[in-house]
Amino acid sequence: MAGKKGKKIFVRVLICVLVIFIAALIFAGNYLVNYAIGRRAAPAYDVVPASEVVSEDAAIIEKNRNKISADTKAWYEGVEHHVEEIRSSDGLLLKGEIFSHPDSNLWLVAVHGYSSRRQGMFDVARFYYEKGFNVLAPDNRAHGESEGKWVGMGWLDRKDILLWLDNIIEENPDAKIILHGISMGGATVMMCAGENLPANVKGIVDDCGYTSVWDIFSDELSVLFHLPSFPLLNVASGIAKLRAGYSFGEASSVKAVSNAKVPMLFIHGEKDNFVHTDMVHKVYDVCPTAKKKLIVEGAGHGQSYQMDPNLYLNTVFSFLSESCGLEIEE
């Protein structure tokens, strides 16, 4: 009799422990979703690990960044530009800025990174514009002036980019379009590669994009919270599917790039310890189209252009000319 009573008590305690554990896991998973893909009011410096760039290279990057920023500011103040709006398939008002060359059919879609905004791509926009490209720099959903509660991490954004492409082609049916993204923007343009892109898209440039949302969040969970991905990330992924409309596992750049139909250029900083440099080799290896890979020595995350502007620009425009068949101004 005493044994049966003890077993009942044990079962009840075990059930209570399991309920508490599951409740705690759901709470933590919900917190992670809000933390990782909830709209942010400020740049997400808290998620970036300490840089591994050596001091000599950091000084070069800072010097080049200051000059590039000053040149871009002067360019922006002297060039024609306007804001356009579209509606996403789920009803969000999305905004983007356009810099026009009325007599050119060349177009760039410049896609910014996590917690940034379209202005973060104006340095890229400038060097394309100066080569005769029209430029669209959109604010991704849940960023800048665009609506949205949940960050798309490239997966939701790929559908938004397709709508922006439709908008460009409606205005310019002969448009020859390049997609160029940095960090989350790099993942976005890679995820676009797996879609049925219009023939107007001639090439894609990925700068330090990640292999998948699962991979980047798994890394961050380890670095920031010293936790393994299982089971918390599994729970958070399920919650994200319910709340934001996508799971972390399905948002894969590797899978998308394996179905690419256009030439792709992959750029990554050799000292990138945020989106680890080994990720670029994985997406490059599965790309079935004409492709090129540039690893910029000494550069951290998103710093390849600032580390070596001439190498970066020469590589980009040589690729667009030789692999994408574009005629580009000298």
Share of the chain above pLDDT 70, in %: 98
**What tokens does 306 get?**
């600032």
Q: What is the mean pLDDT of the segment spanning 101-112?
A: 96
Q: What is the mean pLDDT of residues 253-262?
A: 98
Contacts of 239 (CB under 8 A, 6+ apart): 26, 29, 30, 33
Predicted confidence at residue 10, as pLDDT, reads 66
Place of tokens 């003890």: 6
Q: How far is CA 119 from CA 130, 140, 249, in A?
A: 17, 11, 30
**What pLDDT digit, counting tens, does each position of 14-24 carry?**
788 788 888 99
Phi then psi dihedrals of residue 55, to 5 deg: -60, -40
For 111-150, how does the pLDDT look when each residue is reduced to its tens digit (9 = 90+)?
999 999 999 999 999 999 999 999 999 999 999 999 999 9
Cis amide leading into 138 (omega within 30): no
Per-residue pLDDT band at 4 (split at 50, 70, 90): low
Structure token pair of residue 217: 């969040």
The arithmetic mean of pLDDT across residues 180-200, rounded, is: 98
pLDDT of 224 reads 83
Predicted pLDDT of residue 3: 62
pTM over 0.85: yes
Q: For residue 201, is pLDDT > 80? A: yes
Q: What is the pLDDT of residue 21?
A: 84
pLDDT tens by residue, 275-314: 999 999 999 999 999 999 999 999 999 999 999 999 999 9
| Average per-residue pLDDT for the chain | 95
Cα within 13 Å of Cα(65), Cβ side? 12
Cα 280 from chain centroid (whole Å): 13
Q: What is the spatial distance between Cα 117 and Cα 1, in angstroms, rounded to a whole number? A: 69
179 confidence band (pLDDT: 50, 70, 90): very high
Is 309 in contact with 67 (CB distance < 8 Å)? no
What's the average model confidence in pLDDT over 35-64? Answer: 92
Helix (H, G, I), strand (E, B) or coil at 120: helix
What is the share, in percent, of the chain residues with pLDDT greater than 90? 86
Tokens of 298: 């000494």
